Structure formats: structure tokens, C-alpha cells
Chains A and B, each alone.
Chain A
Amino acid sequence: MNKTQVPALEGWFTMDAEKPHLLGTQCKGCGTYYFPRQTVFCKNPACESEAFDEVQLSRTGKVWSFTNACYQPPEPFVAPDPFVPYTIVAVELEKEKMIVLGQAVEGVEVSDLKAGMDMELVLETLFEDDENEKLTWKWKPLPTDGGAA
């Protein structure tokens, strides 16, 4: 039986299987982007705007840094049994001028990554419960020119 795919965090990203985006906001006054979404006040000290546009953030960026988790984190992390280490990537989005964290897709090791590498946003399972597969955003290396995805 196939489980239903649902977002692990409601409203944080689009559920587009092919080309998902993180959901953010952009201040109408100064242009500052926000992720997670910010809709009440702008954090720029020179800006008093309280109006925001809903935006989809760039779904590609460059590696700023990376690491992994060799040990099982405490709750609310939901770990498979046995625990499987995973890689974490910080990706710089050029247009938004911000760095966004996320896990790397399964199979990507620390040794596969380098600062400046091109990455794209994809959806993958964070954990499963009895009914659902809970999806989250993860970072996946973009194939270098000509490579097959």
C-alpha cells in the first residue's frame, strides 16, 4: 500500500514533485527576503514596512558549507531504526542573498561536496508514520554540464 505524501512542515515549501520551491516572503518596502515566511514586520532597521509579497525562493544555489550527523539527534527528530547518518548542507541563494540549511538527499556524502558547488532543491522523505510519508526539502548536487540528472 502506498502511503500518502504530505509535507513534514505545512506551508514551508511547494509540493511540486519536479521543481519544488521554498515558500518565503519579500518586504514590499525594502526587498528583504524572509525564510521562514515573515508577514508582520521587517527586520531591516531602516524599514518600517509591514507589507509583504508571498514569494517562491530560488531553487538553486551554491554550497556555503556542509557537515553530517553521525549520531541520532534528540526528539523531535524522528529517526529510522537503525539510525542512518545524513549530510547537512548550507546553500547560498544568489538572488535572495541568504544561506539556507537543509539535509542533502540520501546517498550524498560529505566527501561529495565542495564550497561553491551548484545545488538544487528537491523533496524527499524526512520520516514516515503509519499513514503518511512526511516530505521535506533537501539539497541535491546539480549535474555538471552535460551530466544526466
Chain B
Amino acid sequence: MSGDIAILGVGMHPWGKWGKNFVEYGVHAGRAAIRDAGISWKDVQFVSGAATMRCGYPGYVAGATFAQALGWQGAEVNTSYAACASGSQALAAARTKILSGQCDVALVIGSDTTPKGFLKPAPGERPEDPDWVRFRLGITNPSYFALYARRRMEIYGDTQDDFALVKVKNAEHGFTNPNARYKKKFTAEDVAASAMVADPLRLMDICATSDGAAALIVSSLDYAKKIGRGDAVRVAAISTVTPTFASSIIEMPDLATDSAFAVEAQSFRASLPVKAYEEAGISPADVSVAEVYDLSTALEMDWYEDLQLCPRGEGAKLVREGATRIGGRIPVNPSGGLACFGEAVPAQALAQVCELTWQLRGQAGERQVENAKVGITANQGLFGHGSSVILKK
């Protein structure tokens, strides 16, 4: 039996800082996905929402919140929270429901609003909370991205110019994307002139946070055929594995890695796509396009290697050769990536799937990757959450 499901429709609310309620963005994206699928809202039997932690109770029960906003019609609901992987977990819940025959059509949806000002821990003295401790010691999110970036420079000889090339590439990709927040063709000089935040990373090497929403309509293959969409893009794999002890890389918000005294250290990031490739029966060489979580420019190159698009340590070579540009051997982040979007946590993993769906349908306009047949997403966030999704034609 095939473990695939069909993606009938995709929709997004443009990323930005719009100052509105997250439900508004979600409804916009949800309606767009429903229209794109050519079905009616009443056909949806399951609403799988990705939770947001920034919008109070409605955000914790995002599935129900969106179902109510679109108009209660008796569908079943679910809400998933898994940091950056929330959207993928919501998608996995819908897939389970569909493959077990409990429903034919599901809406998967995530939306977020950025808080005003800096993201910071709750006030008070909480030395038992590792997140509080690391802020007290002056270790912020960019500190971690910068440690990974500097490690690449020390071990592989990457340079800040290489990192800037990633920004320039993604800015070029996202330039014509109607859903992108930053639409400007930045140059390497622009990046070099931006303020240093955490050496070696400058302001333009690090992604912002944004408002945004993304939604998918997914269905069984039978349902897709029944409505004349047997050729719809398919979800071939969803990996949401946890890390395997012992972690080899220092992860936010920790102050130390696991000790690899008793068990060999493992890379969490590298393990995420492994399960996806296995599940899809697809090899890295078959991938035509990838959407990865470029929280920093340097991190995008870590992903090239974790996705096995090139051998370990050769990520910068790929960028220098232009292999990951649209038109190159293996385009990465044709959407423009987080560099052009900024992160909208519960919507981001779904936005990656939206982009790959457009790419595989040949509907990506000026950012179309020629002859795209297989796409893979990758993201990783806090507390052992991450995901990788494979789509195929």
C-alpha cells in the first residue's frame, strides 16, 4: 500500500509585520488553499493546526481556532506544537488520519504574529531554567548560529564572503516572490556593510521574525483521483524524529552538549533527512530542489551537507559554484528562504511545502526550477524538534 497522500491545494498569507491577529492571516491562507484545491470548506473533514505560543489560548488550540474562524462545520480538529517542526507534525497528523481511512480531506494550517520588541525569557530569577541561565550568562540565539558558522570557518576554511554569497543568492531568489517580506537584491557589499552581531555573522546573515501563514489541503490518493486530481503532487515522506543521544552539537538553549563518554555522539540535523529518504525510497541524488531553514547564511551550508547534497565540508564550494542557485545543479531555497521571509515559526515548515508544491507543479513563475520532480524540506528548532518532508510528482 502506498504511504503517499496528495497535496490538492496550497495557500499563504504574505510574510511581513502587518500588526494583525494571527487568525486573520490563517484564514487568508486557509481560504487560498481551499480555492487552490478546488474543493469547498465543507468538504474538509479534519483541521490540523500548528500552534503558536505567542497569541494566548487561541494559539494553543490553533486547529480549533481556525476551524471556528472558517465557520464550525463539524470537522475534527487537532493542534500540534513542535517548535519549528510544528507544521510538519500537523501534516503528519493529517497523513495518519488519511492513511488510516478516518478521513479523505484535511486542512493543515499554521500562522503567527511577531511579538513587539525582542524575544526574551519571562522575568524573575529562575536558575533552574537553562534558557534563563544562558541569557544571564549573555548567550543569545545568534551566539549559537555564530558558533556553528565559526566552526565551519575553522574546520573547512569557509569565509564570511561565502556566507554573504548565500544571502545574495536567496535575495535574488525571493525578489519576485509575492509572499516574501524582503524583496531587495542585496549585494555582497551590502552584507559586508551590515553591522556585526555575533562574529562572524552580521545582521544580514541572520534571519528576522515575521508574521505569516501557510496552509495545505491534503487528501487520499483515491479522493484526488475522484475529483480529477490524480496528478497532484504527493507527500512521499515526513520525518519528525527526535535526536539520538548523545548530541554532537551544542544546541540552543543548552550550555553544554551531551557527554559522549558512554555513547558515540550523533548529529541531529543529519539524522532528520535520513529517515525521510528511507521512507520515500528516494536518494539524495534524486532531489531536484530543497527548501532549508537558513536561520543564518552559514547554517544553509550545514543543511546542504546534512541533506547529503554534497560531501561534508563542501557546502561553501556548492555556493561558490552557483550550484544552489536557480539554474544550478541543485537549487536551494528558490522561495528566497528565511533570508527573504523571516521566521514565522508555526507557518514556516508549511511554507516550505507550499513552495515545493508550486515548484513541482511548474507554477513558481520567475523562480521556477526547471523540471523539478522531487523536493525536500528541512528545519530544526528548539528542544529536539525538527523535520524533513519529501514531495514528489
Contact = CB atoms under 8 A, between A and B. Distances in A.
- Classify the interface of chain B: helix, strand, loop or mixed: loop
A46 interface: yes
Contact of A65 (B120, B140, B148, B195): B148
A44 B263 contact: yes
Interface string A58-72: 000000111111110
Contacts of A65: 147-148, 150-151, 154
A72 B58 CA distance: 33
Given A45-B245, A67-B143, A73 B135 contact: yes
A74 B261 contact: no
Given A8-B136, A45-B245, A88-B138, A99 B257 contact: yes
A44 B245 CA distance: 6
Contacts of B258: 32, 43, 98
- Classify the interface of chain A: helix, strand, loop or mixed: loop
A36 interface: yes
Contact of B137 (A46, A74, A136): A136
Contacts of A34: 259
B197 interface: yes
A97 B262 CA distance: 9
A23 interface: no
Contact of B262 (A36, A44, A64, A77): A44
Most chain B Cβ neighbours within 10 Å, of A36, A67, A96: A67
A115 B199 contact: no
A51 interface: no
A51 to B, nearest CB: 14
A52 to B, nearest CB: 12
B256 A35 contact: yes
Given A76-B125, A97-B259, A69 B198 contact: yes
Nearest to A27: B262
B230 interface: no
B281 interface: no
Interface residues of A, number: 47
A67 B154 CA distance: 12
A98 B121 contact: no
B69 interface: no
B155 A115 contact: yes
- Looking at chain B, what size class is its interface with the partner chain? 35 or more
Nearest to A137: B137
A124 to B, nearest CB: 12
B56 interface: no
A143 interface: no
Contacts of B120: 74-75
B132 interface: yes
Interface string A1-42: 000000011100000000000000001001111111000000
B260 A97 contact: yes
A101 interface: yes
B257 A98 contact: yes
Contact of A115 (B130, B133, B154): B154
Contact of A114 (B118, B148, B154): B154
A93 B85 CA distance: 32
A34 B245 CA distance: 13
A64 B130 contact: no
A80 to B, nearest CB: 11
Nearest to A29: B262
Given A31-B262, A90-B250, A115-B154, A69 B256 contact: no
A126 interface: yes
A108 interface: no
B365 interface: no
Interface of A: 8-10, 27, 30-36, 43-47, 64-71, 73-78, 86, 88, 90, 95-103, 110, 114-115, 126, 136
Given A27-B262, A70-B199, A75-B121, 10 more contacts: A33-B261, A65-B147, A65-B151, A67-B199, A70-B198, A74-B135, A76-B125, A110-B199, A115-B151, A126-B136
